[in-house]
Amino acid sequence: MSSSHSPIGVFDSGVGGLTVLRALASLLPKERFIYVGDTARVPYGTKSPESVRRFSLEIARYLKKRHVKAVVVACNTVSAVALPDLRKFLPVPVLGVIEPGARAALAATRTGRVGIIGTLATIRSGAYEEAVHRLDSSLKVFCEACPLFVPLVEEGWVGRNPVTLQVARLYLKPLLAKRIDTLILGCTHYPLLKSVLKKVVNQVELIDSAEETAKAVRSRLEQDGILAPYGRRGECEFFSSDDPVKFTELGHKFFGRGLHRAERIHLEGV
């Protein structure tokens, strides 16, 4: 059984979700977090919805055994295709990143023309479009899959790398032609590309759903009366399905500070 003392589970296909954990740990400094990155099977964004669902349920099974009090799906692809399955399986609140991202875009747009970029699986699912239209059906939504952004970030070609700049120009051209004024970064890797993207989109507002997701998690814990008790010191534990050394090396870029040593866990067929 979980209680307010229990940890919060946070997971992603790899290290990208650490941008979300970072916002969570900053907004909820008394909470304990268990982060799982499925680095043995990363990426999810190019895989079929069936595989993504199966992988996600295996991670959920692990987090259930750890008696988490809530699960944050810090992965846009999983949030897009597996949220109903996870909610059915887990006896605790399950929060994704898409609804908060859509909400932030609605608050930001002035012209009602919103762009969304993400992995192939996220864009194909139509989940962001649906989430935006559930909030306001009059908004115009334009989507573009950007499969090369994740490998470019993992290669470390961020900042103002000329290749990344050229790729960003190609991917964003059709969205800019639609005169969007707001762009949802629908993948947890993309916040690391902010400086490149800003150069390409100029005045367009970039929406990174991490902070909005952290706020949504806090509201839900408050509402359910399961916030960590006053005075406790929070912590983060890290688990990966591939080499934990590589996980911590790559992870600190996303987490913004050093990670405690991660531990390897076995997720398959659990």
Q: Which residues are catalytically annotated?
A: 75, 187
Q: CB-wise, 224 or 243, nearer to a second copy?
A: 243
DSSP, collapsed to helix, strand or coil, labels residue 94 as: strand
Say whether residue 268 binds a second copy (CB under 8 A): yes
**Binding track, positions 23-52, relative to a second copy; x by CB under 8 A:** ----------------xxxx---xxx-xx-
**Binding track, positions 232-261, relative to a second copy; x by CB under 8 A:** ---------xxx--x---------------
List the one residue out of 81, 82, 44, 86 whose CA is nearest residue 189.
44
Say whether residue 57 binds a second copy (CB under 8 A): no
C-alpha 38/C-alpha 22 separation (Å) is 18
Q: CB-wise, 65 or 257, nearer to a second copy?
A: 65
Q: What is the CA radius of gyration of the chain?
A: 18
Chosen residue from 155, 224, 249, 263 binding a second copy by CB under 8 A: 155
Say whether residue 162 binds a second copy (CB under 8 A): yes
List the one residue out of 184, 192, 182, 183 whose CA is nearest residue 160.
192
Tokens describing residue 105 = 């875009």
Whether 181 contacts 111, CB under 8 Å: yes
Shortest distance, position 238 Cβ to a second copy, whole Å: 16
Torsional sign, CA 241, 270, 80, 234 = negative
**Binding track, positions 93-132, relative to a second copy; x by CB under 8 A:** ----------------------------------------
